Amino acid sequence: MSLFVKDRSFYSKLLHIAIPISLQGFIMFGVNVTDTVMVGSLGEFSIAGVALGNQFSFLYQVTCFGIGAGMSVLTAQYWGKKDREAIGAGLSIIMKIAFAVGMVFLTAAAFFPQYIMSFYSTDLSVKVQGAAYLRFLSIGYLFLGLTTMSIFTLRTVGVVKLTLLTNGVAFVLNIFLDWVLIFGKFGAPRMGTAGAALATTVCRMVEFAIVMIFLFKIDTRIQFRLHLLLRWDKDIFQNYLRNGVPVIVSDIFLGVGGNMISMVLGRMGAAVMSAAAIANMIYQLVMVFLMGVSNASGVITGNTIGAGDYNKVKEYGKTFLVIAALISLFAIGCIQLVKNVVFQEFQIGGTTVQAFNVEDSTKLLASQIINTLSCIAIFLTISQILTKGILRAGGDTRFLMIADVLFLWVLSIPLGFITGLVFKWPPYIVFFFLRIDDVIKCVWCLFRFFSWKWIRDVTVRSSTAT
């Protein structure tokens, strides 16, 4: 069997899904860069405070991703069978769940932000900056959750350009609002890190409005209507518990694990946390196309399983793995190129400008961490395409739950604590151990992939609704 699919329609569908999602990733990256650079001009404590505050938000985001991705395992296969009723019932369920979870995170961030920040850092200045950021970010959680549920479901039926539109609008708006609110332009108060959070919250509201208008007024594939929110399909929910909840558990434990990793880095000092934040930002920039391919692999795999063509599923899966490997090789070169440019100073109108106002020692730390990321890039990409794309769409969610939880919590986090906080090894070595779970998980999941045991039709026709 050839490593590359010879069917042109496969590549057409892949690009149709991957390109808009990748462009969306670039836009989201642009939003993050805008926040990081503008906040970065305020100094290392502001960068660290926002980076650590975002870890709590990241925990909420991955919970939402788990809720939405868990249902998308089902809806992708339902779309392969053209079962719109089941897709609508699934969306109704996860929107209710996301709203309830959003209220919990909103309450915590709005009323207990300093308590939350104390988990991440012992530095008072960092905690103050992070708490201000969280408080103004909290209201946006509800809008983010409902938007995420809709977008995940729409992607499984081939609607991908909508998110590109919403993120494009949010990107332009975010740049303007960041400039106004962080630095106090047009008579607005100079809010600093809180201004960055408020700008993000406003953008979340705008994104929500655009997606809801499309979902209820324009979309013709799902044909979702407001009255469907009152339904609760028991069969779909039970199927979701069997096949979708393991995805939620995986993503939550990964999110909490990511927070534990940030706690290790945060307690190694503001300079280390700032360096890690800069390194991760550069890595996300060059790996953004992987996000599109990963999402496309999940949608195409799920649709094909739903249609019952298992031979194509195997053929497509091998091609996705080769594409992931090629992406990683390209990414390594880009990472090194960007690393050498991002810390340089530029002259604009006679003024010296640099992206990050940090000490030379912090720049060196960031460079070392970037080198570590380059060394494990191929493992990260293949692990991503398998765990978040192919195997998940195949319904192998329980196996992935074990893999995600086991290697992170038994290896990465303990090794990170020991090497970083006990032995106090160099940050780039600590960072490697904090990401070693992806290296092992890559090999583990490759064996699973070639066993073909992950290919399962998990759909069930809805028949009972209340």
Q: State the sign of the Cα–Cα–Cα–Cα dihedral 163, 165, 168, 169.
A: negative
Contact 76, 160 (CB under 8 A): no
Q: Residue 2: inside a domain, yes or no? A: no
**Structural domain span for residue 258:** 8-451
Instruction: Give 465's DSSP letter.
Output: B
Residues in the chain: 466
Is 462 a member of any domain? no
Which structure tokens are listed for 71?
A: 């249902």
461 assigned to some structural domain: no
User: Both tokens of residue 323?
Assistant: 């594409």
Instruction: Look at residue 55 and tell me if it is in a domain.
Output: yes
Q: List per-residue pLDDT tens for the chain, 466 residues long.
A: 567 888 888 888 888 888 888 887 777 666 666 666 676 666 666 666 776 777 788 778 888 888 988 898 889 888 888 888 888 899 999 999 999 999 999 998 888 888 888 877 767 777 777 788 888 888 889 999 999 999 989 988 888 888 788 888 888 888 888 888 878 888 777 877 778 888 888 989 999 999 999 999 898 888 888 787 888 888 888 888 888 889 888 888 887 887 788 778 878 887 787 788 778 777 777 677 788 888 889 989 998 998 888 999 999 999 999 998 998 888 888 888 777 776 666 655 555 555 566 677 887 888 888 889 888 888 989 998 999 889 998 889 899 999 988 999 999 999 999 998 899 899 889 989 998 999 999 999 999 999 999 998 887 554 444 4
Is residue 465 in a domain? no
Count of domains for the chain: 1
CA distances from 89 to 60, 163, 190, 271, 461 (A): 23, 22, 46, 48, 11
Q: How far is residue 271's CA from residue 365's CA, in Å, rounded to a whole number?
A: 8
Whether 456 maps to a domain, the answer reads: no
**For the chain, what is the largest distance between any 2 Cα atoms, rounded to a whole number of angstroms?**
70
Q: pTM of the full predicted structure?
A: 0.76
Token pair belonging to 373: 């990321």
Q: Is residue 1 part of a domain?
A: no
In a domain? residue 3: no
Distance CA 128, CA 255 (A): 23
407 alpha-carbon distance from chain centroid? 19
